[in-house]
Structure 1
Amino acid sequence: MNEQNSSFSIKEWNENDRPREKLIVKGKNSLSDAELIAVLVGSGNRNESAVALSKRILASVDHDINKLGRLSVKQLMTFKGIGEAKAVSIVAGLELGRRRKEDITPIPKINSSKDAYQLFDLVIGDLEHEEFWVLYLNNANKVLQQKQISVGGKTGTLVDVRVVFRNALEYGATSMIIAHNHPSGSVQPSTSDKELTQKLKQAGVSLDIKVLDHLIIGEKSYFSFADESIL
């Protein structure tokens, strides 16, 4: 069969070059990022192997796995050889990795805005739409629950104050840290961000539930209302 017209599936490669077999024989740590993605992809296209295709995809995001995790199914499907099923596999694989990281890096007690940022960044740091989350804390500033409150678009999300405090009462929280992300990357608070912060702070007074901070999460950076003394 003419090599140019053949389909470069993993099964057709030399055994030492097969990512799946390499993982089994040499272990997961022996695989490069491109080889791991190739396992998810399964096969390439008529002109390139799954590994070559994976390298091309990685190159498009400067070999940054976090940037790759932000690509949508539709964006991945723009690459020749990536159909919907393969795109879904990549997105699902990276999401599992993100969740595993979240599970193994708990911060049971919040001592600073940086501690809170590390928790929020895991869930909303790389999203292309806005989400609003709350950390519910006890008297010792230990995390009782991390809860998503709302999901919005690229420029905002609506927050129901009643839901925020209903959850606080359910979890027995005495304080909370609120946060949302800015997909634009800018972490400067808007007028509506400031108004929402004050609204939640005032609502907590009658229930004796303190809003300790409001974080705006950007790409690898954050803004803390408490640190800036504007809470």
Structure 2
Amino acid sequence: MKLKEWPEAERPRERLIKEGAQSLSDAQLLAVVLRTGINGKTVVETAIELLNKFGGLKGIEDASVNELQHIAGLGIAKIAQIKASFELGRRVLSHAEKEKNFNSANAVYNYLYPKLSGLKKEVFITLLLDTKLKLIKEIKVSEGILTQTIIHPREIFKEAVKHSAYAVILAHNHPSGDPTPSEQDLDITKKLKKASEILEISLLDHVIIGNGRYFSMKEKNLI
């Protein structure tokens, strides 16, 4: 049976409008994004196939464009729709967290995890905060393997001085998923801590983002 032949109450798009997006399963929500099926399958069957192929929504989100293109019949337009829907979700989460106070490592994790999850490279970010620990600006300092040459105090604190930041929080991801700090991470943090004391800009924490967990230098009394 083609999707248009289903009872109207069972069609994902119509059900979403009538009952709300929260009433739909993962497959049904993905079907709304895809709009039409491929290779003679209904759009719901196509969505289920994708979920099974990649192990759920997270697997689809993490899949590269090249990996998605290997699915027969899945064209660039549908791939773009999928990628755009996940990015919209990440931006909504980040915007909501941005309004909160960054008074804990957990708050940092909740804000940055949607952005850093699944990345293949390390990305080093500085969060500039005001006296209420609200975000003034987010700075991407570097992308790639961290070294003390790249992560230099000058690069970290010049924007903090420019924007009159009261404090900064450092953060980066570990693509391996294990947030345990390396010796390089510890050395960089010590160097930046000394620089922050000289400039009288508080270095509140260095948070390493892993897969579903984080490591806080402050919580472990390493900063």
TM-score (norm 2): 0.85
Query: Could you tell me which amino acid in structure 1 is paired with residue 28 of structure 2?
Result: E
Taking the aligned partners of 2:100 and 2:84, their CA distance within structure 1 comes to: 27
Q: Secondary structure at the match of 2:169?
A: strand
* 1:22 equivalent in alignment to 2:15: yes
Give the Cα separation in 2 of the matches to 1:40 and 1:116. 30
Other-structure match for 1:54: 47
Where do residues 35-54 of structure 1 align in structure 2 (5 Å cutoff)? Answer: 35-54=28-47
Distance 1:13 1:113 in 2: 51
- Cα-to-partner distance string for 1:23-74 (whole Å, 9 max, x where unaligned): 33443333322122122222222242221111121123433x3343222212
Matched, 1:229 2:221: yes
Q: Distance in 2 between matches of 1:141 and 1:162?
A: 22
Q: Is the 8 A contact 2:93 2:111 kept in 1?
A: no
Q: Distance in 1 between matches of 2:51 and 2:66?
A: 16
CA–CA distance in structure 2, aligned partners of residues 223 and 175 of structure 1:
19
Q: How does 1:1-231 map to 2 (within 5 A)?
A: 12-14=4-6, 16=8, 17-63=10-56, 65-106=57-98, 108-152=100-144, 156=146, 158-231=150-223
How far residue 181 of structure 1 moved from its aligned partner, in angstroms, is 0.3
Percent identical: 34
RMSD of aligned Cα (Å): 2.4
Of stretches 80-89 and 179-188 in structure 1, the one that deviates more from structure 2 is 80-89
SS of equivalent residue, structure 2 residue 87: helix
Deviates further, 19-28 or 46-55:
19-28
What is the letter of the counterpart of residue 191 of structure 1?
A: E
User: Aligned letter for 1:42?
Assistant: R
Q: Which shows bigger deviation, 28-37 or 91-100?
A: 28-37
Distance 1:137 1:89, change over 3 A: same
Answer yes or no: is the 8 Å Cα contact 2:36–2:42 preserved in 1: yes
Q: 1:31 corresponds to which letter in structure 2?
A: L
Could you report, residue by residue, the CA deviation over 1:120-146 in whole angstroms, capped at 9, with x for unpaired residues? 223213433321111212334333223
Shift of 1:77: 1.8
TM-score w.r.t. length of structure 1? 0.82
Q: Deviations over 1:78-123 (max 9, x none)?
A: 2222122211210111110111122223453233222222222232
Matched residues, number? 220
Give yes or no for contact 1:66–1:126 (8 Å, CA) kept in 2: no
One-letter amino acid of the counterpart of residue 117, structure 1: Y
- 1:15 CA displacement: 5.7
Unmatched tracts of structure 2, length 5 or more: none
